[in-house]
Amino acid sequence: MVVRNRGTFLLLLVAFCYGVTMAMGLREEKDQARWRSQREEMINKRKKESKSGSGRTGENWFLLRDYKSIVETDAGAVRVVRTRGDSKNRPMHIGFVTMEPNTLFIPQYLDSSLILFLHRGQARLGYICNDELTERQLGDGDVYRIPAGSAFYLENTGEGSRLEIISSIDASDSFGMGLFQSFFIGGGTYPTSVLSGFEPQTLTTSFNVSMDEIRKIMSKTRRGPFVHVNEKSPSTWTKFLKQKQGDRLQHLKRIVETHREDEISQVQEQPKFSWRRLLGSMLGQKINLKTDNNKCPQAYNLYSKNPDFSNNYGSSIALERSDYSPLRHAGIGVYLVNLTAGAMMAPHVNPVATEYGIVLRGTGRIQIVHPNGTSAMNAKVRQGDVFWIPRYFAFCQIASNSGPFEFFGFTTSAHRNRPQFLVGANSLLHTLNGPELAASLGVSEERVKRVLDAQHESVILPAPAETRSEEKEKKKMMEKLAKLMNAGFAKF
């Protein structure tokens, strides 16, 4: 009787366990079906938003195409791309300055600090630093910072060539009057000088000249902030550029002396570069005139920096505060990446900063992934396109097979970025490799190791094998064609 009861009990126990297992299996299937349904719904939603451009998650959200023309004349132009980000990121926009040959961007100061990258051309930059007029000759690849509130001018010195500059615009100190605000020291009817707002008696007293002289000086500039430097019929600004450096400072000094300190007290900057300090010095202290101020920073040439990483498939350069001290004050980093045809910057994450990029050359694709594992963007980009990558989002850049892909940009931190690569020989998956990773993937450790060890390259990865073989075949065909053509020409 006892044996029979024990057998019945075991049978009931087995039946109960089977029932529980089936119930758990059905529940798991329901959960998986619900998860798949939610995922498909989210993917479809992302696709709709991407096509329509609406919402915060479509491809248009990560490709920045909201260009605003600030100035556009026959001598030069300024365009600004509004950037996006969250409340944790400081406001920063991307500016593009183009100047025709023999032109001057007249003296002004901004309520925002700038980091200039000279993409193409030659320029002379003059600005006030440590109570002195400092001039720097800039060329291709040079990086330079102009603090907010520092008066400056810019001249295109390239012989017959256009000047092209890309800049970050840190609007954290701006008055909230738009993207940024220019305060023109020079000017006339267009642009209007900040001097124009003072009463006539204030100006005549300040300059110690008649009102008629003031009108003659302040009414000639009518074609915008970019003026042609014409040798045959020299303008006021042509004569200004021909003056000795000390005389140019005195010229700016006479203009600055008309400003009252309470009119510009809102412009804030580090004490070393303060407009308030500059004004006080000019009004009450003796000014030391030097041909060059060694205390002011030199430009940093990005092209001359040794790559932080380089292999047969491309190179990557990062400029941070330990490399260039002005970035310490700006809190902004700079980077430059070159990829060969078909190469890929391996999928990675920026744990420190948000990244803004500008395509300088070639075409490629930018892929960005949402935290939930869905695609945020998979878009083709070309020269001139601007994109941004939010901090912590996984992403990669892929060059097209047609040629090299080069892009430059800014990051919202001057500290070392330390990107975390998700794929490649140096990926964090290698660091995490163990039974825990295998368990999370639901496969054996041997299989995980086999997959991770298949990629021997790191950071910048080669094009797929089939693409490389296609390129080799193309190269061979072109070589054969060239030989045939040469042989044909030889007969003639």
Give the pLDDT score at 192: 79
As a whole number of angstroms, the distance between CA 128 and CA 146 comes to 9
Structurally, how many domains does the chain consist of? 2
Query: What interhelical angle do 275-284 and 245-256 show, nearest 10?
Result: 100
Residue 183 counted as domain residue: yes
Query: Of 183, 330, 333, 181, whose CA–CA distance to 269 is shortest?
Result: 330
Same domain (yes/no): 269, 161: yes
pLDDT at 172: 67
SS3 475: helix
Q: Identify whether residues 254 and 319 lie together within a single domain.
A: no
Q: What is the pLDDT of residue 175?
A: 60
pLDDT at 33: 61
In this structure, the answer to whether residues 351 and 391 fall within a common structural domain is: yes
Residue 12 lies in a domain: no
Is 203 inside any structural domain? yes
220 and 312, same domain (yes or no) = no
Residue with tokens 């941004």: 388
The answer to whether residues 332 and 197 belong to one domain is no
Residues 280 and 331 in one domain: no
Is residue 379 domain-resident?
yes
Ordered per-residue pLDDT tens for the chain, 492 residues: 444 565 665 566 555 555 655 555 555 455 556 545 655 565 555 555 444 444 445 667 899 988 899 999 999 999 999 887 554 566 689 999 999 999 999 999 888 899 999 999 999 999 888 878 889 999 999 999 999 888 999 999 998 899 999 999 987 666 655 678 888 887 666 787 877 788 888 888 888 888 888 777 776 666 788 988 865 445 555 555 555 555 655 555 554 444 333 333 333 333 333 333 433 333 333 334 344 556 789 999 999 999 999 999 999 999 999 999 999 888 899 999 999 999 999 999 999 999 999 999 999 999 999 999 999 999 999 999 999 999 999 999 999 999 999 999 999 999 887 899 999 998 888 888 888 888 888 888 889 889 888 889 999 999 876 454 555 556 666 666 666 666 655 554
9 burial class (0-12, 13-18, 19+ CB within 10 angstroms)?
exposed
Residues 211 and 278 occupy one common structural domain: yes
Q: Which pLDDT belongs to residue 248? A: 56
Handedness of CA 23, 24, 28, 34 (dihedral sign): positive
pLDDT number for residue 247: 60
**Sign of CA pseudo-dihedral 110, 387, 61, 35:** negative
Same-domain check for residues 188 and 319 = no
Name the pTM for this structure. Answer: 0.73
Report pLDDT for 268. 34
Q: Where is the domain boundary, 235, 253, 284?
A: 284
Q: What CATH number is given to the structural domain containing 382?
A: 2.60.120.10
Q: Is the dihedral of CA 188, 193, 196, 200 positive or negative?
A: negative
Does 27 map to a domain? no
Based on the domain organization, do 314 and 229 belong to the same domain?
Answer: no
The verdict on 206 and 275 lying in the same domain is: yes
Residue 418 CA: distances (Å) to CA of 13, 349, 354, 413, 431:
56, 9, 12, 11, 15
Residues 262 and 328 in one domain: no
Note whether residue 475 is domain-resident: no
246 and 348 assigned to the same domain: no
- Domain that residue 221 falls in: 66-284
In a domain, 14, yes or no: no
The candidate with the shortest Cα–Cα distance to 350, out of 319, 394, 320, is: 394
Structural domain contains residue 488 = no
